[in-house]
A and B are shown apart, each in its own frame.
Chain A
Amino acid sequence: MKKNFFLLIVMTLLLSIVTSCHDELDTAPLSTLAPENFFNDLIESEIAVNGIYDKMANHYQQNFIYMSDHGSHVGTFLYNNPNLNSYAWYTFSNSDRFVTATWATAYEAIYRSNLVINQVGQLDTDDDVLKNRIIAEAKFLRALAYFNLVRFYGDVPLHLEELSDLDDLEIVNKPRMSASLIYDAIIDDLIFAEEHLYLASWISDDNKPSYEGGNLGRATIGAAKGLLAKVYLTRASFPERDLDSYQLAFDKAEEIITDDRYILDSEYFNLNSLEGKTSQEWMFQIQYSVLGQQTSNWGGLHNPLNQGQGGKDANDWGYGRMSPTFKFANSFEEGDLRSDTCAKGRINADGSIYYIPRSTAWYSHKYRFSSQPISRFNTDMNAPVLRFADIILIYAEAADELNIVDQNVYDQLDRILGRAEVTTFENGRIENDLKEFIFWERARELCFEGHAKFDVVRAGLDKFLLEVKGQEQTNDENNPSATSEVSWTDNVQPYHLLFPVPAAEMESNSSMAGNQNPGY
């Protein structure tokens, strides 16, 4: 009896198990969402578009700073640190972490944009205005990412669709497309963005919605127009030399100036401060906040190093990884307020400057903190992408190239010069070579904001070699005229106009074989 009883139990157990189907193997993630279950409405779509901004915040970190300002006519790096000076010294390789990070973060943002554009595009909703704005934001950010890619690397792979079948090698291994096609895609996106984005919160217009104040930092119509002007100007410049684009750049810049929706901030040094994050001169910034765990490298990386005695307590205590070039530091006119963007030494706690005996150590000193950041490398400073002064300079440069410089151009330039408290055209300033003047005026106005390398490349190979190759440093504090050429000058080569495609892309993308930028 007993025996049978146990036999029964065991057999039942075994049988029940054998016959059951194994649904329990289909476990689904419990703490993470899957894309298939997302994009149900516009609220979720907006959350998805926010993820693109987050990626752009990664894109605009130190990698971007080193690549866009070091090794230009404006910025260099003098402190002897082989890990960090490879962009200033032109010793980087194609496996360098910053070359890789800039490329990778741009494409990560593009992946996210493509997903949003496709998924939100399929969404059935009765609020087409918001729906189109979300798509337009994604397109704006995609355009910005491609604009950086095409300027840094030249021809690049073009992904405009949601990445679907990962086992399809044609989709995964995209070849490089000509820069011209990339520009076409950028312009398409920006035109859509200009049409469907909202206006900045402080602007009101009966025909277009404006963002509510809390959304400061989202792409706006102004941002799209401004970026479009900059894209046109860049496309017209070296190496694309699509000369028709000068007119487009001029028209778009003029439109922005005429609209009169952006101002020049009355305080130049307010712009790159925490208080200036809301300045109406800014057309687009990437937003950061330490408390929100999106920390910025802007400012912390630039400001003077304060090792040892002196200004450890200074608010502008930084890492000193951005030095102005000797020529740039000396390009300011007497009395130019903006010459304070270069400190010829360390900043003391009281704001005074501690001059360093051997004056090779200049530091950038543009970013101003009203109190010391919680940690120097992680600041609250926004990444400067586009501001109104840039539009004025684009306007003037395009006008000069088109030979249509008129009084209005000088008037606009005077707005910048007046703020800097240097001689204006109105007060008798004469520039025989307006092109050269604008080149250096852009440097003085926009230095350390991530434009210099692009500008010196845009100016053409000869100008690039002239301004970057022959850089000088001072030899002696007591004799400023005693200068010598920097020791890395021979490293600068014509092929450095473009950065190399990262090794990680070259190795893993079968369509890339043999198609590295020349020289690398």
Chain B
Amino acid sequence: MKQQKKIESNYRSLTLLLFSLFCFFNLLHAQEIEIKGSVIDEVGIPIPGVTILLIGTTDQSKTGNNFKGTTTDFDGNYSIKIDNRNNSLVFSYTGFKKQIIPIGLKNSINVTLVTDISQLDEVVVVGYGTQARKDVTGAITKIDRETIDRTYNATIEQALTGKIAGVNTITSDGTPGAGISVRIRGGTSINANNEPLYVIDGFPFEVDYSVSDGPAEVAGPSTSPLANIDPNSIESIDILKDASAAAIYGAQGANGVVIITTKSGKSGKSEITFDTSMTTSTVPEERFVDLLSTSQYGELIIDRRRYANGIEDPTVTFNSLTAEQEQARYDALPNSNWQKELYGTGHIVKYGLQARGGNDKNKYAIGGSYFKNEGAIVNTYFKRYNFNVNLQNKLTDKLKIKTVLYPSYSVKEGPISGGDFSPSKLGVVIRALTRRPDREIGFQGDDELSEVGLWVDPVTEAKRASNFSNTFGFNGNTNISYELAKGLMGSVRIGANITDGKTKNYYTKDFGRGFFIGNGVGTRSHYQSVRWNIQNRLDYRTAFGKKNKHRLNVMGVYEQTHSFRESEYLRVTNFPVETLGFNALQNGLLSDIPQTFTDENVLISYLGRVNYGFDNKYNLTVSIRADGSSRFGTKNKWGYFPAAGFSWNLHNENFLKNVDAMSEMKLRLSYGQTGNQGIPSYSSFALLGVSNTIFNDQVYAGLAVQSLPNPNLKWEFTDQFDMGLDAGFFDNRLNFTVDAYYKRTEDLLLRMPIPLSTGFRQRLTNIGNVENKGLEVALNTVNLDGKFKWSTDFTFSVNKNKVLDLGGVEQQTFTDQFTNGKFTGLLRVGESLGTWIGFETNGVFSYEDFDENGVVIDTSNGTPSTVNPNSIPKLGDVKYVDQNNDEIIDDKDLTIIARTQPKHFGSMYNDFSYKGFNLGVLITYKYGFDVINGNKHRMVAGGNNQWNKTADLAHHWTPENTDTDVPRADYIDKNFTDRFVEDGSFVRLQSVNLSYNLPFDAVQKMGFKSLKIYTNIDNLFVWTKYSGYDPEVSVARGQQAVITPNLDYGAYPRTLNVTLGVNVKF
């Protein structure tokens, strides 16, 4: 305390000194000259608020304390009185390069400021505060508004795609409003959540795709909880990747943290921005799945009997027609392309209006936007209304209030595209693929699977589907801060996040779910979730020592988050009158017992952080956080998460100061611990669930234990080491950042299988380890820097993931959602997460594989008894590889056939600008990962005889066509084999962005401040060998999203989007 006082008194005397010096110089001035001018940016737009300082030309130390200066006004104009033409003017503005211009004889100085690409000078948002990049010790990547705009973003997660090294985004499905999984430096958890923590304007959002929108019966692809936030209201996104940065979020930080800052007001004349765009979205025909035509479909059906078991039967007839006549009959039938029928042109419109402005004391940013996406699939749409208010009020010099509010409302409607194995629950995409091509829209023959009612075509299904959900969201927080003493700031923040969602469904009794369940099904579910968060905080910043070489920031926070979720669910079946659907469930005759749930959880945290910097060379950050969570067992509610980071600005060292080529060189080292609490609220308890029973056709109440208790349940811990280097050369025309990391997660929250004989299958325990290690490179080069500018950004990431321990067991297998109960997902010690097992195959059996007695010559291939009961291969059978050489194909021959984690991935962004024109081209790629073509498996292996199949089946084995690896027409095989696994490697032309800023003069005449016309083509082209719609797909969610990822099954195809927009400022 004593020392602090001393520092303060030092300050005071310093200020006094400065003040007197200032007065002294003022007295000195003799004759004043007025210099005028304007400051514009590269595209000619005036920049208000540019700081202009007058400095002497001679030795800086003599004039260093000359504070004379001014700022530009709203139109970018300034005037400044000078008394010495030998002096220079310094123009500086955040984000632009400083310019020093000698005054000389000029009376008017116009300046064009150039964007500053130097990263080290920017301010980045670290958890609970901001820091100059030069002082940062952790691995943090910032993407600003300009970078966000490189792609077309319907949701926040989309804005992250392909822009950051180490961040792997996985689109689950192309449904409007669907969520995107984000993996920062690989997945750490098996059962707990793997999504990063999102922090929006200081308020934490946990995203968990394992929480379903409704009961399994009605659930489609998961909706992004962030879908309600308008990506256009974002100012910047900061991604905390390493533990030193993320550990300040402790229990929620293990999967990285995404900090989102929304636009805030700025002082100056108010600025109003109107932005509107129109987009058309289509599924390009060349990305359709190749399917059989009617003629080929007919041939396949004919050949099933003509070449049954691989032997020609010349006597076979088809309702007294010969094979040739039957083929001719098929050739004359309609040839429908169901994909073409189902995928139309989608339209997206967007309007946004934003106003920003204010003065030194009060700043505001307010706005609203409307977004409507009528999807490419018939009858799908997503609408969103957003409002945002961001106010900053400086009540006194010491008391500040910041208020952020962003309510939203969204509506979503459409048929279900995904779906599980059950034929009644197939989504429209699977229906489009499997519907026989010789039928036309609306055909209601009963020639299809009888268990699903009328086997309707996908268009009819899509038109008659009514799945509807609406969500009202409110987010807001107020932060009051007060400067208690010099450098000591106290603040209190209260925030809330309220979501009120409703889902309504009606399934008609004619087909699908409504038929299967019974004469029409109507459901309504409603939930309300309220999370409130309170934060109390003390900050102390000081500098001391000679020339203030020592810089010290200390922070302490107490934080508490309460979450409540209440939900209700109604389900009624048996509708004599269907017209009113979900709007009148009272029209149904049978109703389920309503279900209601209340869920509550609490997180209490204490955290502290110390930053110490010395001479702009060394920075040290040490932090600790203690989290108490209600989700864990009574014995282990508290977890402690320490972290430390060190950085060294080498370029400020004397021995490197003279290396001119090097403008920046910074070394970072960090270690920290983070946790994961992403498990359901009451996981440590034994719970009794409803287990009603029937006596004499009446329901009797029953209850039974549904889950086992685990009072020892505790946090999942992740230790992470990171080593990074930030470097800039040639005046920052070449910048790169390299990070290497090692992450090890222990005490995994794992649903461990326990002996079935206990009466339970699994129990949530802390067992097992997973590691991730990787390398991230981000490279930025300015290739041309004149009137014509060209810059390039590269990112490159490698992550290697390995299961180290599964609590003593070597491996565990899991079922997926599309092979009907087969164990295809594998967790094995030494392997990465997301590994699939199945059978390896090797073409098909043909004549040369059998000797004259019909015995297979080479026994290294065979047929399992699940295909031919006697295991004796027939002509045209698929060859199964006998892995263990026991001459029997059985479960012992199962082997790993798919690895789903990319070996490496990255992106390249090229930016070209000339005068007002700007062209940005973003290319992303992922290499070396497998995709499971579940659509194909369902069509070819798991489906019905009458379904259409993939086009390769036109080349099926026949006695005439033996040179093929497609089995014969009547071959039935429901196994999961490598025939359905494909390499997903791809290069995607993700985004082409062209914009034109009209010249300022022209715009001014129109009464605007700026006018930008832009066009964006999103998802323009994909180079891949994958035969499905898109190799970037993964429909599974919850634990399945970790165990059996990269499954392409019924996913709504990603569209190609062409946008045209106008952005006007006035």
Q: Contact residues of A with B, CB < 8 Å?
A: 2-3, 6-7, 9-10, 13-14, 17-18, 22, 24-36, 38, 47-48, 50-55, 57, 80-83, 85-86, 89-91, 93-95, 97, 100, 103-104, 107-112, 115, 156-157, 159, 163, 166-167, 172-174, 213-218, 277-278, 287-294, 306-308, 312, 317, 319, 374-377, 380, 486-491, 502, 504-505, 507-509, 512
Q: Do the beta carbons of B399 and A14 come within 8 Å of each other?
A: no
Q: Do the beta carbons of A93 and B891 come within 8 Å of each other?
A: yes
A374-B519 CB under 8 A given contacts A217-B694, A491-B865: yes
Answer yes or no: B869 CB below 8 A from chain A CBs.
Answer: yes
Give B585-618 as 1s and 0s: 1 = Cβ < 8 Å from A's Cβ atoms.
Answer: 0000010100011111110100000000000000
Q: Do the beta carbons of B484 and A3 come within 8 Å of each other?
A: yes
Point out the residues of chain A lying under 8 angstroms from B536, CB to CB: 10, 13-14, 17
Q: Do the beta carbons of B759 and A53 come within 8 Å of each other?
A: no
Quick one: closest B residue to A159, CB to CB?
A: B757
Bound together, the chains give a CA A32 to CA B869 distance in angstroms of 48
Q: Do the beta carbons of A159 and B681 come within 8 Å of each other?
A: no
Q: Do the beta carbons of B602 and A24 come within 8 Å of each other?
A: yes
Q: Contact residues of B with A, CB < 8 Å?
A: 396, 398-399, 446-447, 450-451, 482, 484, 490, 492, 515-519, 536, 538, 558, 560, 562, 574, 590, 592, 596-602, 604, 628-630, 634, 637, 681-682, 685-689, 691-706, 708-710, 712, 752-761, 763, 809, 812-813, 820-821, 823, 864-871, 890-891, 972-975
Point out the residues of chain B lying under 8 angstroms from A319, CB to CB: 451
Bound together, the chains give a CA A115 to CA B517 distance in angstroms of 34
Q: Do the beta carbons of B697 and A289 come within 8 Å of each other?
A: yes
A30-B600 CB under 8 A given contacts A22-B628, A172-B758, A289-B694: yes
CB distance from B808 to the nearest CB of A (A): 9
CB distance from B625 to the nearest CB of A (A): 15
Query: What are 15 A-B contacts defined by CB distance under 8 Å?
Result: A10-B538, A13-B536, A22-B628, A32-B687, A47-B702, A111-B760, A215-B695, A218-B695, A292-B699, A312-B450, A319-B451, A502-B756, A504-B761, A505-B756, A509-B757
Query: Given A24-B630, A292-B692, 4 more contacts at CB 8 Å?
Result: A17-B558, A29-B682, A287-B696, A508-B753
Quick one: closest B residue to A100, CB to CB?
A: B756
Q: Do the beta carbons of B869 and A491 come within 8 Å of each other?
A: yes
A174-B757 CB under 8 A given contacts A47-B702, A54-B702, A293-B692: yes
Q: Do the beta carbons of B869 and A91 come within 8 Å of each other?
A: yes
Quick one: closest A residue to B702, CB to CB?
A: A50
CB distance from A50 to the nearest CB of B (A): 3
Bound together, the chains give a CA A226 to CA B516 distance in angstroms of 38
Q: Which of B604, B682, B812 contacts A22 (CB 8 A)?
A: B604
Q: Do the beta carbons of B629 and A25 come within 8 Å of each other?
A: yes
Q: Do the beta carbons of A55 and B602 come within 8 Å of each other?
A: no
Bound together, the chains give a CA A28 to CA B711 distance in angstroms of 13
Bound together, the chains give a CA A83 to CA B973 distance in angstroms of 9
Q: Do the beta carbons of B696 and A215 come within 8 Å of each other?
A: yes
Quick one: closest B residue to A4, CB to CB?
A: B484
Q: Do the beta carbons of B813 and A508 come within 8 Å of each other?
A: no
Point out the residues of chain A lying under 8 angstroms from B754, CB to CB: 166, 172, 508
Q: Do the beta carbons of B703 and A166 come within 8 Å of each other?
A: no
Q: Do the beta carbons of A54 and B691 come within 8 Å of each other?
A: yes
Q: Do the beta carbons of B697 and A27 come within 8 Å of each other?
A: no
CB distance from A25 to the nearest CB of B (A): 5
Q: Do the beta carbons of A108 and B686 come within 8 Å of each other?
A: no
Point out the residues of chain A lying under 8 angstroms from B681, CB to CB: 27, 29
Q: Which of B396, B691, B975 contacts A51 (CB 8 A)?
A: B691
CB distance from A246 to the nearest CB of B (A): 31
Q: Which of B492, B597, B758, B864 contacts A111 (CB 8 A)?
A: B758
Bound together, the chains give a CA A301 to CA B701 distance in angstroms of 28
Point out the residues of chain B lying under 8 angstroms from A89, CB to CB: 865, 869
Quick one: closest A residue to B704, CB to CB?
A: A51
Point out the residues of chain B lying under 8 angstroms from A376, CB to CB: 451
Q: Do the beta carbons of B755 and A173 come within 8 Å of each other?
A: yes
Bound together, the chains give a CA A27 to CA B398 distance in angstroms of 40
Q: Do the beta carbons of A172 and B755 come within 8 Å of each other?
A: yes
Q: Which of A14, A30, A167 contacts B599 (CB 8 A)?
A: A30
Point out the residues of chain B lying under 8 angstroms from A81, CB to CB: 972, 974
Q: Do the beta carbons of A374 and B695 come within 8 Å of each other?
A: no
Q: Do the beta carbons of B708 and A166 come within 8 Å of each other?
A: yes
Quick one: closest B residue to A36, CB to CB?
A: B686
Point out the residues of chain B lying under 8 angstroms from A95, CB to CB: 813, 823, 891
CB distance from A30 to the nearest CB of B (A): 4
Q: Which of A18, A215, A509 contacts B558 (CB 8 A)?
A: A18
Shortest Cβ-Cβ A-B pairs, 9 listed:
A111-B759, A488-B869, A51-B704, A50-B702, A509-B755, A216-B696, A51-B691, A91-B865, A51-B702
Point out the residues of chain A lying under 8 angstroms from B698, CB to CB: 214, 289, 292
Point out the residues of chain A lying under 8 angstroms from B399, CB to CB: 6
CB distance from A344 to the nearest CB of B (A): 21
Bound together, the chains give a CA A401 to CA B396 distance in angstroms of 104
Quick one: closest B residue to A287, CB to CB?
A: B694
Q: Which of B574, B634, B693, B864 contacts A54 (CB 8 A)?
A: B693
Q: Do the beta carbons of A47 and B865 come within 8 Å of each other?
A: no
Point out the residues of chain B lying under 8 angstroms from A491, CB to CB: 865, 869-871
A294-B694 CB under 8 A given contacts A7-B484, A48-B704, A50-B701: yes
Point out the residues of chain B lying under 8 angstroms from A512, CB to CB: 755
Q: Do the beta carbons of A293 and B592 come within 8 Å of each other?
A: yes
Point out the residues of chain A lying under 8 angstroms from B538, CB to CB: 10, 14
Point out the residues of chain B lying under 8 angstroms from A31, CB to CB: 596-599
Bound together, the chains give a CA A470 to CA B761 distance in angstroms of 38
